[in-house]
Amino acid sequence: MEGEILYIWLLSNLICAIYSKAEQDKRNVKYANSEQHKDLSIPRITRDKQYGLKMLQYFQERNPFVANNDLFSLETGEVASKEVKRLETKC
């Protein structure tokens, strides 16, 4: 579960950065930053975008979130018995 949350967070950060850059370009606005915000420099944004795209490609090729239709406990990971599955289908 923790890996899935991290994956979503990474993708959302990348998407937010792309939208922010597109809005700045569209409005012909440039947000300035000081030395204390080196993470917002153009080279850093470009490098982070490249890393993000590499990670996206990696996860698309090696999807860690395999679709699973089994009923299981999120806390323990224990898979439900056939009896529970049978009762579920009746509901």
pLDDT tens digits for 38-74?
777 788 889 999 999 998 888 888 877 777 777 777 7
Q: Report how far apart the first and last C-alpha atoms of the chain are (Å, whole number).
A: 27
pLDDT of 72 reads 78
Tokens representing 40?
Answer: 């917002």
Domain of 72 in residue numbering reads as 2-90
Q: What is the pTM of this model?
A: 0.36
Task: State the total domains in the chain.
Answer: 1
- H helices then E strands: how many in the chain? 3, 0
Nearest to 13 by CA among 42, 77, 56: 56
Structure tokens at 29: 């606005």
Which stretches of 31-80 are DSSP H helices? 42-61
